[in-house]
């Protein structure tokens, strides 16, 4: 229990530090940090100007990790991401020049602006934590997290993410517009300088690894495990869903609820953790049937129905 309390203290300090930049969005910050603790990648999808990039930069600055930003454009090549081997005439040998993916926190801005060929350059790094260039495999430094941003409104000049890419993101989160009071606070904060310029690290990469190891000791009861699998399985049998969530979603949810338990100062997971993370973990993994789309149905409504229909452990119906 002491180890969990120590990890919770670190996690709270990170959340409070990020909240200095991202005002009034603690629930979203906690979901993002739960993904980091679960060793998962994050897709931040929202309209322009709500702080998607700032969220990624704030988390990176708060945990003291190396940070690289990749601006995805249609002319970007895979070698611009993973790196390239260049012939050195003086040594008569090929030297590897690492790409920006060889960092601990990688911000992929406007991920749907690049071609599918370039998008696929991230697949190996996100799943296997390594990159292969010219037949040589190089491991990535730990912790390694990809945070990608995407604008769901503008489609001109974009390339939709393939399912294999989407499935590798543990969570898809959305910040949304701030409240009236929070937006006033943002104006006051940035009257002279941006708070990101003064943000200091409150944790280290070693602390993040400590959080990830502490999460592995969080107890998940058999009933909660069955609830997770039951919820995932229900997505595959739903009449309005053409393609349900994969077993990777079950594993991701399992790790994510452990991360959320750390943030809630518990050494055990509960069904409410699953409910809290259901939209972030599942919504981007579901493909609705054509008939459901014609009726104007969206994945959030499907998940609402599943949370109502799938029995919660310990609750009598």
Per-domain residue ranges of the chain: 2-190+202-309
**Would the pLDDT of 222 be above 50?**
yes
User: Is residue 155 very low, low, confident or very high in pLDDT (cuts 50, 70, 90)?
Assistant: low
Q: What angle is formed at CA 223 by the lines to CA 38 and CA 169, rounded to 5 degrees?
A: 25
In angstroms, rounded to a whole number, what is the distance separating the alpha carbons of residues 111 and 70? 9
CA 248 to chain centre: 14
Q: 155 with 115: CB under 8 angstroms?
A: no
In angstroms, rounded to a whole number, what is the distance separating the alpha carbons of residues 28 and 39? 17
Alpha helical stretches, state H, the chain: 2-18, 26-37, 52-63, 79-82, 116-119, 123-128, 163-167, 180-189, 205-215, 222-237, 247-263, 271-282, 290-294, 299-309
Residue 64 in 3-state DSSP? Answer: coil
SS3 percent helix, strand, coil of the chain, rounded to 5, is 50, 15, 35
Q: Position of tokens 């338990």? A: 261
Average pLDDT over residues 256-267: 92
User: Is residue 258 very low, low, confident or very high in pLDDT (cuts 50, 70, 90)?
Assistant: very high
Q: Position of tokens 């940090």? A: 33
Q: Which of these CATH numbers, 3.30.450.150, 3.40.640.10, 3.40.50.300, 3.40.50.2300, describes 2-190+202-309?
A: 3.40.50.300
In angstroms, rounded to a whole number, what is the distance separating the alpha carbons of residues 186 and 20? 10
**Would the pLDDT of 190 be above 50?**
yes
pLDDT at 316: 45
User: Is residue 191 very low, low, confident or very high in pLDDT (cuts 50, 70, 90)?
Assistant: confident
Antiparallel, parallel or unpaired: β 93-98 and 136-139 = unpaired
Q: Position of tokens 């600055």? A: 61
Handedness of CA 289, 293, 296, 298 (dihedral sign): positive
Least confident of 24-28, 98-102, 309-313: 309-313
User: Is residue 2 very low, low, confident or very high in pLDDT (cuts 50, 70, 90)?
Assistant: very low
User: Is residue 3 very low, low, confident or very high in pLDDT (cuts 50, 70, 90)?
Assistant: low
Q: Is 33 or 117 the better-scoring residue by pLDDT?
A: 33
pLDDT at 317: 46
Closest by Cα among 175, 176, 255, 242 to 215:
255
Q: In this structure, what token pair is assigned to residue 312?
A: 């919660």
């Amino acid at each position: 229990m002491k180890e969990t309390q120590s990890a919770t203290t670190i996690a709270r300090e990170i959340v409070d530090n990020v909240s200095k930049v991202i005002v009034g969005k603690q629930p979203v910050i906690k979901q993002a940090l739960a993904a980091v603790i679960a060793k998962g990648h994050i897709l931040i999808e929202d309209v322009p100007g709500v702080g998607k990039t700032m969220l990624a930069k704030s988390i990176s600055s708060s945990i003291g990790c190396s940070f690289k930003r990749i601006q995805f454009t249609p002319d970007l090549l895979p070698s611009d991401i993973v790196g390239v081997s260049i012939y050195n005439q003086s040594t008569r040998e090929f030297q590897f020049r690492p790409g920006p993916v060889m960092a601990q926190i990688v911000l992929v801005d406007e991920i749907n602006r690049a071609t599918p060929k370039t998008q696929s350059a991230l697949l190996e790094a996100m799943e296997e934590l390594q990159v292969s260039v010219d037949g040589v495999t190089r491991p990535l430094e730990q912790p390694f997290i990809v945070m990608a941003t995407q604008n769901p409104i503008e489609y001109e000049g974009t390339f939709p993410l393939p399912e294999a890419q989407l499935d590798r993101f543990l969570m898809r989160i959305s910040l949304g517009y701030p409240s009236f009071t929070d937006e006033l606070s943002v104006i006051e904060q940035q009257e002279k300088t941006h708070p990101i310029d003064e943000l200091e690290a409150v944790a280290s990469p070693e602390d993040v690894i400590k959080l990830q190891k502490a999460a592995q000791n969080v107890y998940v009861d058999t009933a909660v495990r069955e609830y997770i699998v039951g919820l995932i399985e229900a997505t595959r049998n739903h009449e309005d869903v053409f393609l349900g969530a994969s077993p990777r979603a079950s594993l991701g949810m399992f790790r994510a609820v452990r991360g959320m338990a750390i943030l809630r100062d518990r050494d055990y997971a509960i069904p409410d953790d699953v409910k809290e993370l259901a939209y972030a973990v599942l919504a981007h993994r579901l493909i609705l049937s054509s008939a459901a789309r014609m009726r104007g149905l969206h994945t959030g409504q499907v998940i609402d129905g599943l949370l109502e229909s799938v029995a919660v452990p310990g609750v009598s119906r």
